[in-house]
Every structure is written in C-alpha cells, then in structure tokens.
Structure 1
Amino acid sequence: MSQPLLDAIVESAEGNATLRIRPASASDVEILSIYFTSLSTTSRNKRFMGARADFAMIAAECVAKTSNPGHFTLLAEIRHEGQGTIIGETRYAYDAAARHGDFAISVADGFQRQGVGLQMMTAMERHASDLGHEMIAAETARVNAEMRGLAKKAGFEDTGLGDWQSVHLAKRLSR
C-alpha cells in the first residue's frame, strides 16, 4: 500500500489543486497532530465523539499499527505548487471477532461538502475489500447529521444497534 490510492482535482482557495489519498506512515505523526489541532472544536468533537486534547498521542495511534494490514490510516493531502497539506484522514481497524472493520473519518472544515469524504471512504472501502473484508461499520453521534448523510451517500445503512445518543452504520463490501 505504498502508492497513492486515489488522485483527483479539487477546487481550493488557491485554484485547482491535486488531492492525493495515501496511506499514513510513521513520518506523518507530527503533521497529523497539527491537522487534528487545526480542526474546529465542532469537527474535532464529531470525529472523536467528544472533547480530546491529546492529539500527538492520537496521531501516533493512527499510524502505530501500519504493519498490521487490517489496520490503516489514509490521509487526504492537497498538493499545490509542490506543497502538501493534510485536509482529511480516515482510520480503519479490522475486528476479527466481530468480522467487520470499524472506521472514523474527518475532513478539514474548509473542504467539507466538496466530495473529499466520499472519495476517502471509497478508497478505504476498496482497500478493506482488497484485504478480503466483507463488512465495514462505524458509530456516530445521532446529532452528527453530516456523517449520517455522508454514510447514506456511500451506501451505509443504520443497523438499529445504536443507542439514544448514537447511530451504528454498516455496509457490506462488494468484491
């Protein structure tokens, strides 16, 4: 998984730029921590389902298990004039006992509602399917309308397994 998984052209404030979705590596811990810090309080709370402040540790955890093929983090990086900036991330972990992968995703505030999240989910699903995984799931706060809308657009369904505060979403992957 060393090659980028997806390239696309996106609109940015500076004009067209290339969006590259690529696997995270140990060398990305610092810039991933900076990315988490740059998210608005609302976006961070939605991504982590509550307040967090230990972003360096979270970033290290995101890349710690990259040697395990069932655990990976993908970064959405916008490249403009040779400079790269992280604008999104998704973390995926396969649970062998539950026989499905779980994921979490975030997109920088200035790039939300531009298709970045859907492209990241597509890349994540493709990689999970390539690993032989058949089901992927996520849990989100019931009030997180953005994530529920993105999941619906990506083909996820509400399993009914959530509680009064959360929604459990799942999708069967095609091979």
Structure 2
Amino acid sequence: MSQPFPNAVVASNETSGTVRIRTANVSDVEGLSSYFTGLSPTSRNKRFMGARADSSAVAAECLAKAGHPDHFTLLAEFTLEGQRTIIGETRYAYDAAARSGDFAISVTDVFQRRGVGLQMMAAMERHASNLGHDMIAAETARTNAEMRGLARKAGFEDTGLGDWQPVHFAKRLSR
C-alpha cells in the first residue's frame, strides 16, 4: 500500500493543483513507465546517466523490491480536479555491506526548480533515517549542473570520488 509523507505537500502555481509525495507500489508500473516516457530526452538522459528506451523495464526495476524494507521508490504526484499525474520519482536502495543508501531522482521539466526535487529528497532522507540508515549517496555526471545544485541545497557534499566524468556526493543522516 502506498503511503503519503507528512508535510510533503508542495504548493503549485501550475493552475492551482497540489503535489503530494508518496511511496510507490507495484501497481504504479504503468504510470511510472508513462512518466519515464514523457520525460524530455535531456531529463531522461540525466536521470539514467545515458540513453534508456525501455521505460516499462525501467519502471518494473524501480518497483521490483517495493515490499523490501531497504528499497523504496517515492513518487511526486500532481493532482488537479481529481486527476493524478506522476511528475517526479526517486528510487532508493540500501547496501548493507557499504552501509550506505544509494538513490536516483528525476522531476519532469515543467516542475523543475519549484521545490519538488528538494521535497522528494527530504522525504527520502526521513524514510531512510527511520529505517536506521546513516548515510546516503549518489552519483551524477559532472555536466549535470541541476543535480549537483539540488544535492548542494539538500546538504550533500562532493566526496571527491569518481573519475573525470561522474561526481559522487554523500550525506550523513541525522536521527
């Protein structure tokens, strides 16, 4: 069952709808696949750090471990007149050996720079912290200035890891 996140409502000036963040479940595969297909080529390339044309397979991968406590996907949904549309997602997976969670995030172009990504990251951090996880990290292309800026705003630090192309950043969670 999907779970809404308290305080995870982003007011939207996009014709008076609202954005809510919730956990995804296996019934969201079709909607998530449509969301990935609807991303601009640039946003899709940044999210997957390369070209991916198999949106259905990617959506299924994101939701395959929906019931596993250390893996989750969050969805941001825009609701207007009772119609819900996925406008963002973040996938999180915890690696017990590394003692760190890894995540990926995307927000559809029209909702970028409106606080949705930051709210999604905050919800992801709270959920990971509630699971007892201490560290989360991610990697992005050095050329992905939007993700690097979002990570900085969310309190992540560049770890200095990675070769000339990817940038690795991490954040210690507080409980």
TM-score by length of 2: 0.97
Cα deviation code 1:15-68 (max 9, x no counterpart): 221111001111110010000000000000000000011110110011110111
d(CA) in 2 for partners of 1:88, 1:149:
17
SS of structure 2 residue aligned to 1:84: strand
Alignment partner, residue 9 of structure 1:
11
Instruction: Give the aligned partner of residue 127 of structure 1.
Output: 127
Q: Hey, what does 2:44 align to over in structure 1?
A: 44
Partner of 1:100: 100
**What residue in structure 2 maps to residue 113 of structure 1?**
113
Identity %: 75
Q: Which amino acid aligns with 1:124?
A: M
Q: Give, in whole Å, the separation in 2 of the partners of 1:108 and 1:3.
A: 22
Distance 2:158 2:128 in 1: 20
Give 1:11 deviation, angstroms. 1.6
CA distance in 2, matches of 1:101, 1:115: 22
- Distance in 1 (CA, whole Å) between partners of 2:10 and 2:48 is 27
Runs ≥4 in structure 1, deviation > 4 angstroms? none
Q: Is the 8 A contact 2:10 2:115 kept in 1?
A: no
Following superposition, the deviation at residue 10 of structure 1 comes to 1.4
Point out where structure 1 has 5 or more consecutive residues left out of the alignment.
none
Supply the RMSD in Å over aligned alpha carbons: 0.9
- Give unpaired runs (5+ residues) of structure 2: none
Q: Which amino acid aligns with 2:13?
A: E
Q: Which amino acid aligns with 1:95?
A: D
Aligned residue number for residue 30 of structure 1? 30
Question: Secondary structure of the equivalent of 2:35?
Answer: helix
Matches of 2:12 and 2:129 in 1, distance apart? 26
User: Equivalent residue for 2:154?
Assistant: 154
Residue identity matched to 1:68 = H
Deviation at 1:157, TM superposition (A): 0.2
Aligned length: 173
Q: Deviations over 1:43-98 (max 9, x none)?
A: 00000000011110110011110111110000000111111000000000000010
SS of residue matched to 2:98: coil
TM-score (norm 1): 0.97
